[in-house]
Amino acid sequence: MQFASPLSLRVDPELRRAAEALLREGESLSSLMGQALCDHVSRQQFQREFVIRGLASRDEARRTGEYFDAGSVYAELRGMLATSSSGKAKQ
């Protein structure tokens, strides 16, 4: 990963010492923070997309009047999970 510019970060000295004490071999505080930032951005993007899909689904249900009972949805999801789990057990 290439960086365009260094990122200055102010943290409590105690937090910095704790983070440095937990670094893996070959890992720098800078690489840890860069990875943490990437992970955070990815989670935020995923969450935003999830909300957008949910709102679009809500709007579509309002438009068409087609709604699904929560119990039916849960049952279908449990079936999908069971199918997925049994497939992994056979491998």
Q: Which residues form the domain of 30?
A: 13-90
Domain-located, residue 60: yes
Residue 4 DSSP symbol: S
Q: Write out pLDDT tens, residues 25-64.
A: 999 998 999 999 999 999 999 999 999 999 999 999 999 9
Record the pTM.
Answer: 0.65
In a domain, 20, yes or no: yes
DSSP 3-state percent helix, strand, coil across the chain (nearest 5): 75, 0, 25
- In the chain, how long is the greatest CA-to-CA distance? 57
For the chain, percent of residues with pLDDT exceeding 70: 91
Number of domains making up the chain: 1
Residue 64 lies in a domain: yes
